[in-house]
């Protein structure tokens, strides 16, 4: 199984400016992500950025980084530019590892790459994990996914799906095991899908939900989804998330 990892890393962030360069245990966040990706079975790991400061930081710790356009609307667009510049063939697999996931387990990266390799009909592969807290189910920042019995995604939403009509009407807040699934934002693509994606217009459902994977589904694409093989600690979106990850890593170093 041969695949490449691309880590999109933008400097601009409304909630946490300069997020990829925020220090965690003496290293920029992007270095933690990069080092986790290196532990996977990927044949190569690249950081795709739109900012010279990130490029310089990656090269300073010995990583590989490439400059991409600062006008991309999504990480998928940035991946496609890298795929073109690297001249990867249409059937080459690219795994998008988010640049704000410094605790991403390498086993999960391998899992999503293996999933798209085994699901020959799939255009994209991604992962999910069980939702166990009612508050998470109702939180629009936690993206939900429903899939069929063949591990094909039926829909992604910020709303709680499926909706327990009778249970919620009766005030139910206890969740049944395996009934609700949180989407984990790691993706494996074939280059041909990336090339098609950038040519598709913004889909109506994508525009409403602000979820780019809905553009794939709107154009008839199949997204394979499987339960993650290992728990994934939360990523970094806010200053509070950053402090949580710093504390987690500090506690692990002290153990």
Least confident of 9-13, 65-69, 129-133: 9-13
The DSSP result for 138-170, as a single string, is H-TTS-EEEE-TTSBEEEEESS-SS--HHHHHT
Confidence class for position 253, pLDDT limits 50, 70, 90: low
Q: Are 174 and 133 in contact (CB under 8 A)?
A: no
Other C-beta atoms lying within 10 Å of the C-beta of residue 222: 17
Q: What is the CATH number of domain 3-254?
A: 3.90.550.10
pLDDT, tens digit, 9 for 90 and up, residues 76-117: 999 999 999 999 999 999 999 999 999 999 999 999 999 999
Question: Who's near 70: CB < 8 A, 6+ residues apart?
Answer: 50, 51
Tens of pLDDT, residues 162-175: 999 999 999 989 89
Q: Is the pLDDT of residue 158 over 70?
A: yes
The per-residue pLDDT for 25 is: 94
- Nearest residue to 240 via CA among 141, 161, 145: 141
Q: Is the entire prediction scored with pTM above 0.85?
A: yes
Domain boundaries, the chain: 3-254
- In the predicted structure, residue 254 carries a pLDDT above the cut 60: no
Query: How confident is the model at residue 74, as a pLDDT?
Result: 84
Can you read off the two tokens belonging to residue 58?
């990656």
Average pLDDT score, the chain: 94
Q: Which burial class, exposed, middle or buried, applies to 218 when counting CB atoms under 10 A from its CB (0-12, 13-18, 19+)?
A: middle
Residues β-bridged to residue 47: 7, 65
Confidence check: pLDDT of 46 > 60: yes
Q: Could you report the per-residue pLDDT of 177-189, keeping only the tens digit for each?
A: 889 999 999 999 9
CA triple 48-128-212, angle to 5 deg: 50
pLDDT for position 255? 43
Distance between CA atoms of residues 67 and 51, nearest Å: 7
Give me 6's structure tokens: 């691309």
Percentage of the chain exceeding pLDDT 90: 83
206-251 pLDDT tens trace: 999 999 999 999 999 999 999 999 998 888 988 899 999 999 888 8
pLDDT of residue 140: 94
Three-state DSSP at 93 gives strand
What is the share, in percent, of the chain residues with pLDDT greater than 70? 99
Neighbour-count burial of 205, counting CB atoms closer than 10 A to its CB (0-12 exposed, 13-18 middle, 19+ buried) = middle
């Amino acid at each position: 199984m041969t695949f490449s990892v691309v880590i999109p890393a933008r400097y601009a962030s409304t909630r946490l400016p300069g997020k990829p360069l925020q220090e965690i245990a003496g290293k920029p966040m992007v270095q933690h992500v990069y080092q986790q990706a290196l532990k996977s079975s990927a044949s190569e790991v690249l950081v795709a950025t739109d900012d010279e400061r990130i490029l310089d930081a990656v090269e300073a710790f010995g990583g590989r980084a490439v400059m991409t356009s600062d006008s991309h609307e999504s990480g998928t667009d940035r991946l496609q530019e890298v795929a073109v510049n690297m001249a990867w063939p249409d059937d080459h697999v690219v795994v998008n590892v988010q640049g704000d996931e410094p605790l991403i387990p390498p086993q999960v990266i391998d899992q999503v790459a293996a999933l798209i390799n085994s699901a020959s009909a799939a255009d994209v592969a991604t992962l999910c994990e069980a939702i166990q807290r009612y508050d998470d189910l109702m939180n629009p920042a936690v993206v939900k996914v429903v899939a069929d019995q063949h591990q094909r995604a039926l829909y992604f939403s910020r709303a709680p799906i499926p909706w327990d009509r009778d249970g919620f009407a009766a005030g139910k807040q206890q969740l049944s095991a395996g009934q609700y699934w949180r989407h984990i934002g790691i993706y494996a693509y074939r280059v041909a899908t990336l090339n098609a994606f950038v040519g598709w217009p913004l889909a109506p459902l994508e525009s409403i939900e602000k979820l780019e994977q809905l553009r794939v589904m709107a154009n008839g694409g199949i997204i394979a989804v499987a339960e993650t093989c290992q728990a994934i600690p939360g990523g970094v979106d806010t200053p509070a998330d950053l402090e949580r990850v710093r504390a987690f890593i500090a506690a692990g170093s002290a153990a």
